[in-house]
Chain A
Amino acid sequence: MAETLKPVRGPRDFLGGRLRVFSEDNVWLWLLPLAVLISFFYLYPVFEAVRFSFTDATTSSGDDYSYTLRSYVQTLTLPEFYAMVRTTVIFVGCSVIGQVLFGMLIATLVYEGEMRNLPGFGIVRALVLVGWVLPGVVLGIIWKLLLDESGASFMAIPFGMFGIRDPVFLSAPVPALAWVIIANIWRGTAFAMILQYSAMKTIPPEYHEAATIDGASWFQRFRLITLPSLRNILLINLILATISTLNTFDMIMPLTGGGPGRSTEVIALYIYNVVFQEFDFGRGAAVAVVLSLIGIVLTLVYFRILTNKQDGFE
């Protein structure tokens, strides 16, 4: 990489011989702004969050708190907590699977259309991005409007056609969670589509042409050429979609507010409520740490699955 010419001074000089800290050839100086940012806005807060999770700090307690395991004990013995974990797992699992699959479907449609020079693929590609550009709160409000139960709302029309005049959308636990998931898939599919479509575009078209000449069907081409080249991006897609869905609650607030009851209260929303309604800073931090652990475990699982499958794919 880089530097084809022999540099007069190189980064080696800093690590090895002469110490030239303020030389512009000192690579670490170039990386300094990024390092400062990461230390101050990521590493220090993470350390602090873990520390606070072992305290009884409230939002207004200042420096007046003491160390305790209370936050974890209270959280982990709370029956509602496990109901919330269940809700979160369903929400994240279904959302991520839905986003990745629909993203793949739409990316394939756009990609195949582009290969065939079909007019219109660009419009479809742009339209999907709409769901992604909307602020989460606006998206939640829009879906709430669509799901109005008055009988004349957008979603009520198809139900009305089948004779169901008062469909239940957001006022019962199971449909409410289902619609929150559907709205979230609608939102996140664009991101999955962009990633997978970009990866598909890096496949040399000759591969597909050669396969077609050899008599491969579309499905064979997809399975043997497209899918293997998507493996890395699928891993990234799964990780990013999971992390962002775990942390999502902006669209849930206007859509259901976590209800009815607590049926759509995901852990992220719960953290917000604990800190800003119960003012229990320590417990909020503890739940946030638990949420991060769930994210880390899932990331490791994806790595295991997708790197083990390597041989199977090819």
Chain B
Amino acid sequence: MSPIHRRSAIPVLLIYSGYVIVALIYLIPILWVVSLSFRPLQELFAYPPRLVPMKPTWDAYVRVIENSLILTYLWNSLKLVSLSVLGTIVVALPSAYALSRFRFRSKRQLTLIMLGILMVQLISPLVTILPLYRYFATLGLINSHIVVILVFIAMETPVATWMLKGFIDTVPTALDDAARMDGASRLQSLVLVLLPVLMPGIISVSILISVATWGEFLVPYMLLSDNKLQPIGVGVLDFQNTSDGVTTHYLAAISVLATLPALIVFLLVQRFIVGDATSGAIKG
């Protein structure tokens, strides 16, 4: 065993106390909200508070599902996210291929193009959304999911291009050169040869795009005014604003419903993000 791997007690103890603190900071708030969502009204403000309710009840969930558009919001989000991911990959992949496989006039030219793509990402969405809102309003395209998806694709494509280029760079050129020698066109070598090899990278990028668009607020909030069309990241706000009386347990229940599906999917696939995706981008 190399010296670094030798387990001395003190650092291990420190690391584990760090783990416990971090886990508590992120887990307890979530558990608390789950607890609130199962409490009957009289237990909501009971003192001293208990994490596990004495008489847990589904009432809040039943109420929220019956009286809010939560299921519609979830469906809208699913639709917006999946089509945006698909669109982004379709737009970003050819550019990423070109930036990785073509020979540019100089290294400087390539660097400038790559930097230019990154700079675009620094433009505040608040600046671009105002003229876009006005533009689409003039065209009568407010309340169109397709417009929101287009804007999402535009928002995610620059960073997706960067990351995909990083992934393609890691695939030996010999692979697609061989295909081209056998008479395949560039497009064929990309789709038939590179695409299967790039799948892990494409999955990572897709997850990152999904996370970014799942919770997006500004774009749908501005471009959709019909409540029935809103994704989860906006619809929940509407529920908070329109409900009155004691709403703590309802808000807790809708938060859990809004969070849980995405959270479960995400925890299952998170290893794709933290390992490969970002390291590809960093090397690139």
Q: A residues bordering B, Cβ < 8 Å? A: 1-5, 7, 10-12, 15, 24-25, 27, 30-31, 33-34, 37-38, 40-42, 44-46, 48-49, 52, 59, 62, 105-106, 109, 112-113, 115-118, 120-138, 141-146, 148, 150-154, 157, 160, 186, 194-195, 197-199, 201-202, 205, 208-209, 212-213, 218, 232-233, 239, 243, 246-247, 250, 253-254, 268, 271, 275, 281, 284-285, 288-289, 291-292, 295-296, 299
Does B158 interact with chain A (Cβ within 8 Å)? yes
Q: Which residues of A contact B186 (CB under 8 A)?
A: 24-25
Q: Which residues of B contact A127 (CB under 8 A)?
A: 22-23, 26-27
Does B198 interact with chain A (Cβ within 8 Å)? no
Of the residues A27, A137, A143, contact of B217 by C-beta under 8 Å: A137
Closest 5 CB pairs of A and B: A135-B215, A30-B98, A41-B154, A250-B217, A48-B131
Q: With A15-B105, A34-B117, A116-B15 as known contacts, state yes or no: A24 contacts B211, CB within 8 Å.
A: no
Of the residues B5, B131, B275, contact of A116 by C-beta under 8 Å: B5
Question: In the bound complex, do residue B266 and residue A129 qualify as a contact, i.e. CB atoms below 8 Å apart?
Answer: yes
Q: Which range contains the number of B residues in contact with the other chain? A: 35 or more
Q: B residues bordering A, Cβ < 8 Å? A: 2-5, 7, 11-12, 15-16, 18-19, 22-23, 25-30, 32-33, 36, 44-49, 91-92, 94-95, 97-105, 110, 113, 117, 120, 122-132, 134-135, 138, 150-151, 153-155, 157-158, 161, 169, 173-174, 177, 180-181, 185-187, 211, 214-218, 232-234, 236-237, 240, 248, 251-252, 254-255, 258-259, 262-263, 266-267, 270-271, 273-275, 278-279, 282-283
Q: With A2-B101, A34-B157 as known contacts, state yes or no: A136 contacts B255, CB within 8 Å.
A: no
Instruction: Return B124 CB to nearest CB of chain A, in Å.
Output: 5
Q: Which residues of B contact A291 (CB under 8 A)?
A: 124, 126-127
5 A/B residue pairs, CB under 8 Å, sorted by A: A15-B105, A30-B102, A38-B158, A130-B26, A254-B240
Q: With A30-B97, A41-B154, A202-B283 as known contacts, state yes or no: A138 contacts B233, CB within 8 Å.
A: yes
Cα distance A121–B18 in the bound complex, in angstroms: 10
Cα distance A296–B123 in the bound complex, in angstroms: 9
Question: In the bound complex, do residue A141 and residue B236 qualify as a contact, i.e. CB atoms below 8 Å apart?
Answer: yes
Question: In the bound complex, do residue B94 and residue A30 qualify as a contact, i.e. CB atoms below 8 Å apart?
Answer: yes
Q: Which residues of B contact A213 (CB under 8 A)?
A: 3
Question: In the bound complex, do residue A24 and residue B187 qualify as a contact, i.e. CB atoms below 8 Å apart?
Answer: yes
